[in-house]
Amino acid sequence: MHVSLPLLCGSLLPFLTGSLALPKARAEKHYAIMDNDWYTAGFVPFLIALDGNVDVLGLASDTANTWQPQVALHAVATLEAGNLSCIPVYPGATWPLINTPHRFQAWESIHGKLPWEGAFAPENKTLDAQGNDPTSGNPNRIVKSAFKEGFPKGKPNNSTSAANFMVQMVHKHPGQVSIYSAGALTNVALAVRMDPQFASLAKNLVIMGGYVDLNMLEATGSIMLADLQSDINLMIDPEASKIALTADFPEIIVAGNVANQVMPDQKFLDEVHEVRNPYTDLFHRYYDLLFPFWDETAAALMVDPSIVVNQTSVYLDVDTSYGSPNYGNIHVYQKALAPPGIGKVKYVFEVDADKLKQRVKHSLQHPKSCADLKK
């Protein structure tokens, strides 16, 4: 085929220069600080990050499904399970900015119960004794029997707080650090308020949470279906959610409704377990088939935005009025109608399910260890 010069200049040239620019872009290192309510089978997100060549600077702990001190020890324990203790764990805030179990339970008595109340479920000594992570009561109590992955030998690094570590790292690597949050946003909000440059110096904020337009499903489906639509991560600390999600991060990626898209099944667990290692063993034994790949979806989006099949850009706010049934839930706007002081986020509707499952499987079957990270 004859290619005329104008065509070459007009369409191929930008492509060529674009591809020439790629090696430089690839050399740019991608770091992450991963903040979560870590638990026995909660290691897949950091394995996905490491498998995607993201340098995980540290894990941070927050109070969401259970209290922060228990979460930090789960982080240490699940790193130890795979010789990943070279990744430090920085303890986050134990208390949300203003929320408390009492305040949350009082809200529920007016606006209705959540199927899953996380750390704010009433204290239940029977459940503690059965090896469940602690709820309400003394936030500093550690329930050792909940460490089915093994109680950690090491400790979180208490030389600084999670929020302070986040601030330090974005200054050290401006524009290169992803802040991943798949629990409550308390630490991220503290970092935002502590340092006015923090958000703008990060690469992006990637969260799990932020459901919209699912109220009818909560009303007409099973309690289980209602559970999958209740936004506990944001609701544990609504004020922090608002501070974090309206801060001037260069990019905010929200894995809200899409986090419910891809479910594990027994066949997948078995397939992953064809390769035996401590992580595939724990995954096979403890990953709950009732729940979608929530935190895994957000981790995969952080590593590889090309798994997105459908997304939109919206202006996002968080409802912080205690008198509202949507307290702690997001509200989205188009630009022309958005109130001042909020920003645009990437709201993902759909991901490539096969690519996501491939990432989960590969990261578990070929987990990086500290020996690999030193190379």
- Where on the chain is the footprint of ligand NAG (CB under 6 A)? 82-83, 88, 124, 126-127, 155, 157-160, 277-278, 310, 349, 369
Compute the least distance from the CB of residue 160 to ligand NAG, in Å.
5
Compute the least distance from the CB of residue 234 to ligand NAG, in Å.
20
Compute the least distance from the CB of residue 6 to ligand NAG, in Å.
33
Compute the least distance from the CB of residue 341 to ligand NAG, in Å.
26
The smaller minimum CB distance to ligand NAG, of residues 115 and 278, is found at: 278
User: Computed from CA positions of residues 330, 331, 335, 340, in that sequence, does the dihedral angle turn out positive or negative?
Assistant: negative
The smaller minimum CB distance to ligand NAG, of residues 240 and 351, is found at: 351
Compute the least distance from the CB of residue 223 to ligand NAG, in Å.
15
Query: C-alpha angle 175/205/360, rounded to 5°?
Result: 105
CB burial of residue 322 (10 Å; 0-12, 13-18, 19+): middle
The smaller minimum CB distance to ligand NAG, of residues 79 and 243, is found at: 79
Compute the least distance from the CB of residue 309 to ligand NAG, in Å.
7
The smaller minimum CB distance to ligand NAG, of residues 7 and 129, is found at: 129
- Distance in angstroms (rounded) separating the CA atoms of residues 209 and 259: 8
The smaller minimum CB distance to ligand NAG, of residues 24 and 144, is found at: 144
The smaller minimum CB distance to ligand NAG, of residues 242 and 368, is found at: 368
- Residue 56 CB: number of other CB atoms within 10 A? 23
For the chain, strand residue ranges (E) read 31-36, 55-61, 89-90, 177-181, 204-208, 252-255, 308-318, 330-333, 343-351
Compute the least distance from the CB of residue 35 to ligand NAG, in Å.
16
The residue with tokens 């003394």 is: 138
CB environment 296-316: b (16+ within 10 A), e (fewer): bbbbbbbbbbebbeebeebbb
The smaller minimum CB distance to ligand NAG, of residues 44 and 243, is found at: 44
Gyration radius of the chain over CA positions: 21
Q: Is 65 left (phi over 0), alpha (psi -120 to 50) or beta?
A: alpha
Strand order in the sheet with 177-181: 89-90, 55-61, 31-36, 177-181, 204-208, 252-255, 343-351, 308-318, 330-333
Compute the least distance from the CB of residue 364 to ligand NAG, in Å.
11
Compute the least distance from the CB of residue 43 to ligand NAG, in Å.
11
- Distance in angstroms (rounded) separating the CA atoms of residues 88 and 105: 34
- Distance in angstroms (rounded) separating the CA atoms of residues 240 and 236: 9
**Crossing angle, helix 186-194 and helix 238-245, to 10 degrees?**
50
The smaller minimum CB distance to ligand NAG, of residues 145 and 158, is found at: 158
The smaller minimum CB distance to ligand NAG, of residues 277 and 320, is found at: 277
- Distance in angstroms (rounded) separating the CA atoms of residues 361 and 264: 11
